[in-house]
Amino acid sequence: MNKRYKNKMQLEILSKSNNEAFARITVAAFAAQLDPTIEELSDIKTAVSEAVTNSIIHGYENKEGIIRINAYIYDNILRIEIADQGKGIEDIEIAKQPLYTTKPELERSGMGFTIMDNFMDNLKVESVVGMGTKVTMEKKIAVKNTNDEKNQEENFYV
């Protein structure tokens, strides 16, 4: 990462489905320092959930492995990197197509990358077959106008 960040966090979890919620909540707690709206926070949590679930189900399949999550804050942007050392993706462009899934028997929707792409401002997927996948997402958090709040407070007391 070449941008100077204000804050950073790292998390490593085992590729167990019950760790998905922990990852989602941890990243949301880290993002909270940017004072996101409930909608922005919900988008972040959903995107993290999708990326971690992909690592568990597709990356490691039925094997146990490590999922690494790095999050950075710079300016008013949250950058999240979620990486595994699983089986990798043969064709990223095909995998990113809506409704595409390699596990139809699991009744998955095949919308993981589409959801990540729609809920975040930037999405980058890097993968090497046999070595793993790294998903990088960014979300720009709207800056609140604190002057409006001050003015409303001042007008309240007039």
Q: Active-site residue 108, yes or no?
A: yes
> Domain 7-156 maps to which CATH number in 1.10.10.60, 3.40.220.10, 2.40.100.10, 3.30.565.10?
3.30.565.10
Q: What is the mean pLDDT of the segment spanning 131-147? A: 89
The pLDDT value given to residue 101:
62
Write down the catalytic residue from 20, 24, 40, 50: 50
Report residue 144's pLDDT band, with 50, 70 and 90 as the boundaries.
confident
Query: How far, rounded to the nearest angstrom, does the alpha carbon of residue 109 sit from its chain's CA centroid?
Result: 18
Of residues 133, 141, 71, the one with CA closest to residue 96: 133
Write down the catalytic residue from 19, 68, 76, 108: 108
1 pLDDT more than 80: no
* E runs forming strands in the chain: 7-14, 66-74, 77-84, 122-128, 132-140
The pLDDT value given to residue 107:
57
Residue 49, both tokens = 């959930």
pLDDT, averaged across the chain: 87
Q: Is 141 helix (H, G, I), strand (E, B) or coil?
A: coil
Round to whole Å and give the CA distance between 151 and 35.
20
Give per-residue pLDDT as tens, 33-71.
999 999 999 999 999 999 999 999 999 988 999 999 999
Domain boundaries of the chain, sorted by first residue: 7-156
Q: Active-site residue 62, yes or no?
A: no
Q: Is 92 helix (H, G, I), strand (E, B) or coil?
A: helix
DSSP 57: I
Q: Active-site residue 50, yes or no?
A: yes
